[in-house]
Amino acid sequence: MCARKLWLPEEIEYLKNSYPDVPMEQMVLFLDRSSSKISNKAHCLGIKRSESFYKSEHCGRIKKGEVIGKGTQFLKGIAGWNKGKKQSEYMDQEMIEKTKATRFKKGIVPHNVKPLGHERITRDGYIEVKVRESKTDSKNKNFELKHRLVWEQHNGEIPEGMNVEFVPGADRLNFTIEDLLLRSKSENMKKNFESDDAIVKRFLGIKDPEMVEKIKNQHPELIELKRQTIKLNNQLNRYER
């Protein structure tokens, strides 16, 4: 294992004076350290690049109006170099034989294709069910939310403009038809906008589930204050319009 290379006081002083404006290549040569080590140390010290550096050619940022890689892009209307050709016209026989080992055979289904009825859990904790096997649509088009399917089995097609939701406290992974209700999208939007979860996640910027529950349980007055502030701002915006 390589020994850790400590930063000398004079190196830190150089970094403080140079990092805002000096190109990274020069600092790498002078300090004999990698660019990541230099960037990390600058971050720890709170040193940032200057505005003039970000406007210079050394920053590496793409400027407005620049098109990187334009010279190697396929032009509209230009066909691929092998379009319309047989494989034997652009590959020799030895290469063709090598590709046979990795080709999909007719009738062979890839190992990661899930059967109809397969269930999966989304990031939001809902169950989705595979209901169709479409090769042209995206994978998401082959899945439907299970609670919507259960509601339709008991009540028929979901009316336009309506959402199927869970009653408060229902388990999203183990539910019955009694755990579901129909709500208009406008009502759903209002609920999601004004609910405690929405206030904590969207307007207080807290995403961690444990922290969300902690804020809801220990600081309800903070949530209510934020809710009233949001309502007041909305009223002011409507008045100004």
- Whether residues 179 and 199 fall in one domain: no
Cα(132)–Cα(141) distance, rounded to whole angstroms?
8
- Whether residues 124 and 170 fall in one domain: yes
DSSP annotation of 197 reads H
Report the candidate in 126, 156, 161, 159 with the shortest Cα–Cα distance to residue 144: 126
Query: Is residue 21 domain-resident?
Result: yes
Q: Say if residues 39 and 27 touch (Cβ distance below 8 Å).
A: no
pLDDT at 6 exceeding the cut of 90? no
- Whether residues 207 and 233 fall in one domain: yes
pLDDT at 3 exceeding the cut of 70? no
Amino acid 72: pLDDT: 77
| C-alpha distances in Å from residue 25, one per residue of 19, 63, 95, 138 | 11, 21, 42, 44
pLDDT digits (tens, 9 = 90+) for 172-227: 999 999 999 998 877 777 776 777 888 888 778 888 888 888 888 888 898 888 88
- Whether residues 149 and 199 fall in one domain: no
- Whether residues 178 and 209 fall in one domain: no
Report the candidate in 130, 103, 110 with the shortest Cα–Cα distance to residue 119: 130
Max CA distance (Å), the chain:
76
Query: Is residue 103 domain-resident?
Result: no
Residue type, 24: M
Amino acid 4: pLDDT: 67
pLDDT digits (tens, 9 = 90+) for 19-54: 999 999 999 998 988 999 999 999 999 999 998 898
Query: Is residue 83 domain-resident?
Result: no
Query: Is residue 29 domain-resident?
Result: yes
CB-facing half-sphere around the CA of 71: CA atoms within 13 A: 0
Cα(161)–Cα(164) distance, rounded to whole angstroms?
10
Query: Is residue 94 domain-resident?
Result: no
Query: Is residue 35 domain-resident?
Result: yes
Range of the domain at 222: 195-240
**pTM to 2 decimals?**
0.46
- Whether residues 201 and 150 fall in one domain: no
Cα(83)–Cα(176) distance, rounded to whole angstroms?
54
Q: How buried is 43 (Cβ within 10 angstroms: 0-12 exposed, 13-18 middle, 19+ buried)? A: exposed
pLDDT digits (tens, 9 = 90+) for 117-147: 999 999 888 999 999 888 765 656 899 999 9
Please write down the long-range contacts of 80-88, taking CB distance under 8 Å and 24 or more positions apart.
Answer: none
- Whether residues 177 and 216 fall in one domain: no
Query: Is residue 84 domain-resident?
Result: no
Q: Provide the domain count of the chain.
A: 3
Tokens of 230: 């949001």
Tokens of 152: 């339709």
Other CB atoms within 10 A of residue 4 CB = 5
CB-facing half-sphere around the CA of 208: CA atoms within 13 A: 4
| Segments in the chain forming alpha helices (H) | 9-18, 24-31, 35-45, 51-54, 87-90, 93-100, 146-155, 185-194, 196-198, 209-218, 220-240
Query: Is residue 81 domain-resident?
Result: no
85 SS3 class? coil
Choose one of 39, 54, 69: the last residue of a domain.
54
